[in-house]
Structure 1
Amino acid sequence: MTLDPTDRRLLAALQRDSTLTAQDLSAQLNMSASQAGRRRQRLEAEGYIAGYRAYLHPEKIGLTVEAFIQVVMATHTEQNAQDFVRLTKTQPQIVGAWTLTGDADYLLRIYCADLTALNRMVQQVLLPHPAVSRVQSQIVMERIKPDAPLPV
């Protein structure tokens, strides 16, 4: 199914504030609350809306270090890949993981309490893993455009 302009405006509004009620959406979209609610339900059912969550301020909850870590695999076997992916899913500090083209095989986004915790993650979790050959860390100095909404 394709999205019409009203669907796109609804999705953009929900990305800005997922707590909007059908009444709130109706005012923004120039339609009745029941129409806005039905559109929202349809977009949820069709998978356009993957879920809702609260975005927390990392520093307020004690996560003062954000880092991106590039990981190069020792060997490229299916088992190594599965083992490494399993590792990323068991470490709560790893909040994002992507496979890449280019020099690195994976990119990890990590939040830690401090540099000691980041060092522990690199030295005691990532580097000892048999699938990992090398890591390169970049520590975020300033978040200038964090997790912007998708362009709909």
Structure 2
Amino acid sequence: MQLDERDKQILKLLQSDCRISNADLAEQVSMSASACWRKIRALEDGGVIEGYRAGVSPQAVGLGFQALVHVQLARHNPEHLTDFITAVKTRQEVVDCYATTGQADYHLRVLCRDIAAYNDFLENFLFRLPAVESAQTNVVLREIKRSPQVPV
């Protein structure tokens, strides 16, 4: 989908405040409300807008422990790989998962209540997956920048 300048303006505004009314959004991009609504629908239908979300503070909901886990797989056969990916997708502690190049095969961002909950995650989940050879943990000491926004 080819984006024009108005599309980009709409995306920037929606990323900053997805609760903005269509009327206010239309006014800020100098469009009629109906034309703006049609553009938004086209962006949704085209897969550019994936959804609308509320930002939630992990600490405010009792998830004060955050780690980046670098996972190396022992077995790269398709069955073990599919099982690993399926298992990771089902765990709510894993909020992000990336397949990468470099020393680790996967990088996970994991949120837990505390170190004991994280240890349970490792021992009773991650290390029980047949594909996992090893995992290195980097504990997040403080968050410098976290942005759900995509530069448009």
TM exceeding 0.5: yes
Counterpart of 1:80 in structure 2 is 80
Aligned identity (percent) is: 38
1:40-119 alignment to 2 at 5 Å? 40-119=40-119
Structure 2 unpaired stretches of 5+: none
Amino acid at match of 2:122: V
Counterpart of 2:139 in structure 1 is 139
Q: Give secondary structure in 2 for the equivalent of 1:127.
A: helix
Counterpart of 2:124 in structure 1 is 124
Q: How many residues align?
A: 152
Distance (Å, rounded) in 2 between the aligned partners of 1:107 and 1:75: 16
Amino acid at match of 2:77: T
Q: What is the CA distance between 1:148 and its match in structure 2? A: 4.1
Q: What is the CA distance between 1:128 and its match in structure 2? A: 2.3
Distance (Å, rounded) in 2 between the aligned partners of 1:102 and 1:3: 33
Amino acid at match of 2:96: G
How big is each residue's C-alpha offset from its partner over 1:101-149, in whole Å with a ceiling of 9 and x where there is no partner?
1111111111100011111111221112211110001111111111241
Structure 1 unpaired stretches of 5+: none
Q: What is the TM-score when the length of structure 1 is the normalising length?
A: 0.95
Q: Which deviates the most, 39-48 or 8-17?
A: 39-48
Q: What is the TM-score when the length of structure 2 is the normalising length?
A: 0.95
Distance (Å, rounded) in 2 between the aligned partners of 1:148 and 1:57: 13
Does the CA contact (< 8 Å) of 2:67 and 2:138 recur in 1?
Answer: yes
Q: Give secondary structure in 1 for the equivalent of 2:34.
A: helix
Q: What is the CA distance between 1:92 and its match in structure 2? A: 0.9
Q: Give secondary structure in 2 for the equivalent of 1:147.
A: coil
Distance (Å, rounded) in 2 between the aligned partners of 1:54 and 1:78: 35
Amino acid at match of 1:76: H
Counterpart of 1:18 in structure 2 is 18
Q: Give secondary structure in 1 for the equivalent of 2:128.
A: coil
Cα RMSD after superposing both structures: 1.1
Q: Give secondary structure in 1 for the equivalent of 2:129.
A: coil
Does the CA contact (< 8 Å) of 2:75 and 2:81 recur in 1?
Answer: no
Runs of at least 4 residues of structure 1 off by over 4 A?
none
